[in-house]
Amino acid sequence: MTADYRILEPGDIPGYLRERGMFDGNPFADSDIEVHEVSDGNLNRVFIATPRDGRSLAVKQALPWVRVAGPSWPMSPTRATAEARAYRRVAAVAPETIPVVHDYDAENYALTMENLSDLRVLRTVLNEGGGFGGASTAVGIFVARLAFATSDFGMSSAERKALIAESVNPELCKITEDLILAEPYVGHEHNHWHESVADLAAAYRDDRELRTEIADLRHTFMAGAQSLVHGDLHTGSIMTGDRDGTEVVRIFDPEFSFVGPVGFDLGLYWGNVIVAETRARILDGPADHTHEIARTWQAFESEFRALWPTRLDTFFDDAYLDRFLTRVWTDALGYAGAEIIRRIVGFAHLSDLDSLPDPGPATRRALLIGRELVIHRADLPDPRAVRKLIDQY
Amino acid sequence: MTADYRILEPGDIPGYLRERGMFDGNPFADSDIEVHEVSDGNLNRVFIATPRDGRSLAVKQALPWVRVAGPSWPMSPTRATAEARAYRRVAAVAPETIPVVHDYDAENYALTMENLSDLRVLRTVLNEGGGFGGASTAVGIFVARLAFATSDFGMSSAERKALIAESVNPELCKITEDLILAEPYVGHEHNHWHESVADLAAAYRDDRELRTEIADLRHTFMAGAQSLVHGDLHTGSIMTGDRDGTEVVRIFDPEFSFVGPVGFDLGLYWGNVIVAETRARILDGPADHTHEIARTWQAFESEFRALWPTRLDTFFDDAYLDRFLTRVWTDALGYAGAEIIRRIVGFAHLSDLDSLPDPGPATRRALLIGRELVIHRADLPDPRAVRKLIDQY
């Protein structure tokens, strides 16, 4: 397999950025621009270009295959279009929560963006004993504003239909449908687990109650076209840091974006919060992650309620808003549980657990909590109830 | 406004059918073909072409406006594409429930189909005291097979995403969102009602409980992308009759088709069943419509369950099927209630009630039942419970 568009190499980047008009009025020579590749996700290539005395930029290009696998695992580069679309929508309503996007080159599936190299991946910060800072609040605001703006509340009926049509993302949705919402519950060659939870891994595969609830969450993921979602909002998709004394949080990599259930993003994030919390608790370190779910929900709910009076479709009344938010909450808990489980007995695991001296106890605890969240999601009315559940383990 | 495609007039039909290859091997002269216009829906034109000693055909063309209003009310003719798409999907799984479609001319938004002039509109048959015959069974089978084939159970994940994208139907969905799922509950110039229910019309506009439930059904209609639906499946969209001693039922006019909640078609049909039943009961005539809801549901459920073992996505388990069918049932009752209400206090009314010597009692009865169905849909577990509710009025 070969690409039928231009695959960028480090040496191409200065010329490419000039072509895209990035250095207008500031005509650096190629030799004035230092380029290095920092690709560390599974799918794409990322270059950082730093002009002498100029603003550095990141160029992210989607290859027509999975980067870490090569051409033998083809994947449509249109995921970059999904990513650009999501960034554009968020930029209109919550620009402070994402990187600045300077350019999207649809022909070559390349985004030119703010360089985030001065920030650190939230998961790494947490693994080193750091705290969430304002990340949970940023996630709540990000999800509320993106969800509202792209829901039937915030958009006209006709625009919504166009959004649904243009945002289908078959290949990346299929990854989620398989890796998160099916494989961990059946025998699959992708699955693996720490030996200490082999019993639970086997029990979950035979767990009919769990299977039915996951089937329900799976169908909601497939057919619940509520709003544009990020689609992969875990603690590895968030950068945090400090710029001139101000805390900065940037949510990135929304290439799994599509029109789906609002609760999915909150749930994925919370699954990762709970794993981080479990790690911190086992290590008995200084970090206290106890309130992150409440913080996220509080930011999400208050933001969504603040936007509600601006809805275009005023047929939806306040009582329906309450009902809708309850469903989002319940869905989110289910996806949180599914995320925890798949990160322990599925294909892709988490450094939060794997890097522990003895991953056993934390892994077991998180896995048990994951099931409880899926099964009892409708019986947990608020963050306090979730807190209580988690504290039992 | 003018059309930028060819608007067919009766005199064009013989030549048009020849162009479309309909008389291949049987070269009728224009003068051998009798054409007459039978347009009686609100939106489109329909011609019947009958060759001397040949098979007669129907040509249905969508105009770029609403036929009965003219160019001052523009409407995209792409509704004909939605109609052709739905027919194609049903033809693959339940061909006996729809007219034979010989040709779709996407350039001119024209369908050439089986002539159904020998059959009669079910609503007319019912209004004259006739029975449903096999219509409810046909509806159950039609909905089950179309729903299964175009759901995440019967289709691959990637094909489903393509179907969702290609099937968005903004203009016609907006009509439903407004006329069925909003206007009757707010003051709107479209609304009118029989003087005998003026009190209920006013009460329903102030009914907060009803408003919230309709908001919920509205959001499910907008965001519940379960399967391709007919979208306008009332008793005026069904032809029945007898051909060579065999009963024939044809469901037609699926131009409102889109990927929405499975329960919507069943609900629209049941709303019309209940109105017909109310008419028959008031007239104390020979027709007994008591079991039509049970008949439809029985046909739908047994057909859907029969298809279940053939599902492509075997992650969905039998327990999830039960849950899914319960939700379809509950949604359907809600849409049935909404259909009854909008047909009495909304824009478009029904001859079933309007043609009664005194429409008052039947109209009131149906309107009261409509509200009960919406409000208590989750408390009515089966057709027997609905039967009991209806019998109370």
Per residue in A170-226, pLDDT (tens digit) is 999 999 999 999 999 999 999 999 999 999 999 999 999 999 999 999 999 999 999
Nearest CA in chain B to A322: B212
Tell me: the pLDDT tens digits for A84-118? Answer: 999 999 999 999 999 999 999 999 999 999 999 99
Mean pLDDT within A52-59: 89
Strand B33-37: give its sheet, edge to edge.
B33-37, B44-51, B57-62, B110-114, B101-105
What are the pLDDT tens digits along chain B (393 aa)? 577 899 999 999 999 999 999 887 777 788 889 999 998 777 899 999 999 878 899 999 999 988 888 888 899 999 999 999 999 999 999 999 999 999 999 999 999 999 999 999 999 999 999 999 999 999 999 999 999 999 999 999 999 999 999 999 999 999 999 999 999 999 999 999 999 999 999 999 999 999 999 999 999 999 999 999 999 999 999 999 999 999 999 999 999 999 999 999 999 999 999 999 999 999 977 778 989 999 999 999 999 999 999 999 999 999 999 999 999 999 999 999 999 999 999 999 999 999 999 999 999 999 999 999 999 999 999 999 999 999 999
CB pairs under 8 A between A and B: 110
Q: For residue A354, what is the enclosing H or E element?
A: helix A351-354
Tell me, yes or no, if B25 comes closer than 8 A to chain A by beta carbon.
no
In chain B, residues 231-270 whose CB comes closer than 8 Å to chain A: none
Domain spans of chain B?
10-114, 120-391
Q: How many CB atoms lie within 10 A of CB B37?
A: 14
Bridge partners of residue A49, in order along the sequence = A35, A57
Optimal mutation site among B148, B164, B178, B227, interface A, most CBs of chain A within 10 A: B164
pLDDT of residue B269: 98
- For strands A238-243 and A120-121, give the pairing: antiparallel
Query: Are the CB atoms for A35 and A47 separated by under 8 Å?
Result: yes
Q: How far is B111 from chain A (nearest CA, A)?
A: 25
Q: How far is B72 from chain A (nearest CA, A)?
A: 20
Nearest CA in chain B to A164: B165
Phi, psi of B381 (to 5 degrees): -75, -20
A161–B170: do the CB atoms touch at under 8 Å?
yes
Name the residue facing A173 among B157, B225, B319 (closest C-beta).
B157
For tokens 């003018």, name the residue. B2
Q: How many CB atoms lie within 10 A of CB B130?
A: 16
Q: Among 1.10.10.60, 3.30.160.110, 3.90.1200.10, 3.40.50.10420, what is the CATH number of A120-391? A: 3.90.1200.10
Tell me, yes or no, if A375 comes closer than 8 A to chain B by beta carbon.
no
* pLDDT at residue A12 greater than cutoff 80: yes
DSSP symbol at A16: H
Task: Provide the residue count of chain B.
Answer: 393
Nearest CA in chain B to A160: B170
Determine if residue B219 is left, alpha or beta; phi over 0 gives left, psi from -120 to 50 gives alpha, anything else beta. alpha
pLDDT of residue B185: 98
Name the residue facing A170 among B157, B166, B173 (closest C-beta).
B157
- For strands A101-105 and A110-114, give the pairing: antiparallel
- 3-state percent breakdown (helix, strand, coil) of chain A, nearest 5: 50, 15, 35
- Residue A136 tokens read as 């949970």
DSSP symbols for A278-311: HHHHHHT-S---TTHHHHHHHHHHHHHHHHGGG-
pLDDT of residue B325: 98
- For strands A57-62 and A65-66, give the pairing: unpaired
Q: How far is A141 from chain B (nearest CA, A)?
A: 22
Tell me, yes or no, if B169 comes closer than 8 A to chain A by beta carbon.
yes
How far is Cα A153 from Cα A156, in angstroms, rounded to an integer? 8
Tell me, yes or no, if B164 comes closer than 8 A to chain A by beta carbon.
yes
B323–A216: do the CB atoms touch at under 8 Å?
yes
pLDDT of residue A49: 95
Nearest CA in chain B to A162: B168
Optimal mutation site among B156, B218, B316, interface A, most CBs of chain A within 10 A: B316
pLDDT of residue A305: 98
Optimal mutation site among A85, A151, A164, A228, interface B, most CBs of chain B within 10 A: A164
How far is Cα B214 from Cα B196, in angstroms, rounded to an integer? 24
Sequence-ordered alpha helix ranges (H) in chain B: 13-19, 79-93, 122-127, 135-149, 157-166, 170-179, 198-205, 208-223, 263-283, 292-307, 318-345, 351-354, 360-376, 383-391
A225–B226: do the CB atoms touch at under 8 Å?
no
pLDDT of residue A1: 60
Name the residue facing A208 among B168, B315, B319 (closest C-beta).
B319
How far is Cα B366 from Cα B372, in angstroms, rounded to an integer? 10
B170–A152: do the CB atoms touch at under 8 Å?
no
* pLDDT at residue A13 greater than cutoff 80: yes
Tell me, yes or no, if A38 comes closer than 8 A to chain B by beta carbon.
no
DSSP symbols for B124-155: HHHHTT---TTHHHHHHHHHHHHHHHTSTTTS
Q: For residue A58, what is the enclosing H or E element?
A: strand A57-62
HSE-CB for A40 with a 13 A CA cutoff: 8
Nearest CA in chain A to B209: A319
Mean pLDDT within A287-300: 94
Tell me, yes or no, if A317 comes closer than 8 A to chain B by beta carbon.
yes
Specify whether domain A10-114 bears CATH 3.30.200.20.
Answer: yes
Tell me, yes or no, if A190 comes closer than 8 A to chain B by beta carbon.
no
Q: How far is B342 from chain A (nearest CA, A)?
A: 15
pLDDT of residue B257: 98
HSE-CB for B214 with a 13 A CA cutoff: 31
| The model's pTM | 0.96
Name the residue facing A158 among B157, B170, B215 (closest C-beta).
B170
Bridge partners of residue A227, in order along the sequence = A260
B161–A168: do the CB atoms touch at under 8 Å?
yes
pLDDT of residue B53: 78
ipTM higher than 0.85?
yes
Q: For residue A171, what is the enclosing H or E element?
A: helix A170-179
pLDDT of residue B281: 93
B317–A177: do the CB atoms touch at under 8 Å?
no
Query: Are the CB atoms for A191 and A346 separated by under 8 Å?
Result: yes
